[in-house]
Structure 1
Amino acid sequence: MRFPRFLQRHTVLVEPFLGNSSTGSVYGPAVEVRGLLEQKTRLVRNAAGEQVTSSSTLRAPLETAAPAKSRVKLPDGRTTVVIAAVRQDGAGLPVPNHLEVQLQ
Structure 2
Amino acid sequence: MSRVCATPEQLTAWTGNPAPADAERLLARASEDIDDALNWAVYLTDDAGMPTDPTIIAALRDAVCAQVEYQLATGDDGTGAAGRWDSVSIGPVALSGRKDGPTTPGEVDLAPPPHRTAPRPHEGGTAAGGDLVSRVPDWLLRHEVAVEPYLGTSAYGPRYGPAATAPALVSQTVKRVRDRTGAETVSTAQIIAAPDLTCPTGSRITLPDGRKTIALTVAHHTAPGLPVPASTEVMCE
Partner of 2:230: 97
Q: Quick one: distance in 1 between partners of 2:172 and 2:223?
A: 23
> Percent identity of the aligned residues?
38
RMSD: 0.8
Q: Which residue of 1 aligns with 2:186?
A: 53
TM-score, normalization: structure 2?
A: 0.43
* 1:10 has 2:143 as partner: yes
- Structure 2 letter corresponding to 1:49: G
Q: Distance in 2 between matches of 1:78 and 1:68?
A: 18
- Once the two structures are superposed, the pairs formed by residues 33-52 of structure 1 within 5 Å of their partners are 33-52=166-185
- Give the match for residue 220 of structure 2: 87
Whose helix proportion is higher, 1 or 2?
A: 2
Query: Alpha-carbon deviations, 1:49-85, whole Å to 9, x = none?
Result: 0011001110001110111111000111110110010
TM-score (norm 1): 0.96
State the distance in 2 between where 1:40 and 1:89 align: 24
SS at match of 1:37: strand
1:64 maps onto 2:219 in alignment? no
**Higher RCO (C-alpha under 8 Å, 6+ residues apart):** 1
**Structure 2: runs of 5+ lacking an equivalent:** 1-133
The structure 1 segments of at least 4 consecutive aligned residues displaced by more than 2 Å after TM superposition are: none
1:25 aligns with 2:162: no
Cα distance in 2 for partners of 1:62, 1:43 equals: 24
User: Secondary structure at 2:218's aligned position in 1?
Assistant: strand
